[in-house]
Amino acid sequence: MAAKNNLKPKPYAQNNNDRWGYLTGHELKSLNDYTRDQLRAIAFKYGISNASRKTGEEVISLIEKSKGYKEAGKKEGYKTIFEKVKEKTAGEAKSLQWYRNELKSLVASIKREPSRMNEQEKFDSIGALVNQDQNVNRRRVFPGHFYFFEYKAETDSLPYYDKYPLVYVLNVSGSEFYGANLHYIHPKKRQIVIEKLLNNQIDIPKKIIHKYLNKRCKSLFLDLAKTEWLTACHLPVEDFVLMKGDGKYEYPKEYVWEEMDQYWNDRIKGTRVVKGQNAKDKQRVK
């Protein structure tokens, strides 16, 4: 049983069950990764009595058999990324860096699709067409999808850029792609854009559309399930970097949002289309 993990107790709690009462037993990979006190609180949540008198192995066995634990596991599978990250705060205010680190951790925990990511990568385009109800890590992007990824801009001609873009991809061309990074606008306006996209309407400010070079992408692309789109837009993970001379400096997101406000009404409009890599891929899924 693990003696320590990164879970944080609820602040100002008066007893152990209150301190760890938010835990469900599904935050970590295994119940064996929880401390004794955390397991006791989880057992209490599911109505298991006298946990303090039982061994850790006995408590784990009882938790796994409990109806509450099984039901919580089912609900956990339906939580969005934002909900999972927010739950980890345990009600405490967290720094932007904390949110970024948590997002990275969650992205890393999401499994790739082996059959599409390894030997026959060409089938990844089929997955992009027919599979939009779960988060998937991909090596490349496809039009009509939202992605989180890490980016490092190549040119000093940019005044600033976002290191962790949230991009709706509009077009893919060879070694680059074009997409709208919603981090450039306020979360309330992001929601307006996304709600229209969910209704298959493209209505996006032109100014937030950027070209991204594949070679400058420093991570896999987290292809967000459609159920994640609205909640993902509220994750405070944007990280704007001002490039000045030989240095790079943090640039306040509020400055970016204020600048983009003046371009809000200059927009592109159209119908959302989801594409794979090419016409042959589209034929294969008919």
Do 20 and 74 share a domain, yes or no? Answer: yes
Residue 104, pLDDT above cutoff 60? yes
**Predicted pLDDT of residue 261:** 96
Residue 87 covered by a domain: no
Do 155 and 272 share a domain, yes or no? Answer: yes
**Predicted pLDDT of residue 185:** 97
Q: Which has the closest alpha carbon to 140: 163, 124, 118? A: 124
Residue 93 covered by a domain: no
SS3 15: coil
Do 112 and 62 share a domain, yes or no? Answer: no
Residue where a domain stops, chosen among 78, 95, 126: 78
Do 193 and 265 share a domain, yes or no? Answer: yes
Do 70 and 128 share a domain, yes or no? Answer: no
**Which domain does 57 fall in, by range?**
1-78
Residue 274 covered by a domain: yes
**Using 50, 70 and 90 to split pLDDT, how confident is the model at 139?**
confident
Residue 179, pLDDT above cutoff 60? yes
Task: Report how many domains make up the chain.
Answer: 2
How is residue 207 written in tokens?
Answer: 């100014």
Do 71 and 172 share a domain, yes or no? Answer: no
Residue 88 covered by a domain: no
Residue 181 covered by a domain: yes
Q: Which range, of 22-36, 92-106, 218-232, averages the lowest pLDDT? A: 92-106
**Predicted pLDDT of residue 258:** 96
Q: What contacts 170, CB < 8 A, 6 or more positions away?
A: 143, 178, 179, 180, 202, 209
Do 41 and 115 share a domain, yes or no? Answer: no
Residue 118 covered by a domain: yes
Question: HSE on the CB side for 229, CA within 13 Å?
Answer: 22
Do 5 and 134 share a domain, yes or no? Answer: no
Do 123 and 69 share a domain, yes or no? Answer: no
CB 133 within 8 A of CB 227: yes
CB 112 within 8 A of CB 90: no
Do 20 and 114 share a domain, yes or no? Answer: no
Q: Which range, of 25-34, 123-132, 236-245, 273-282, averages the lowest pLDDT? A: 123-132
Mode of pairing for the β-strands spanning 267-271 and 176-181 = unpaired
Residue 85, pLDDT above cutoff 70? yes
- How many beta carbons lie within 10 A of that of residue 95, not counting itself? 9
Residue 89 covered by a domain: no
Residue where a domain stops, chosen among 38, 61, 78: 78
The reported pTM is 0.65
Residue 144 covered by a domain: yes
CB environment 122-133: b (16+ within 10 A), e (fewer): ebbbbbbbeebe
Mean pLDDT confidence for 228-250: 84
Do 248 and 165 share a domain, yes or no? Answer: yes
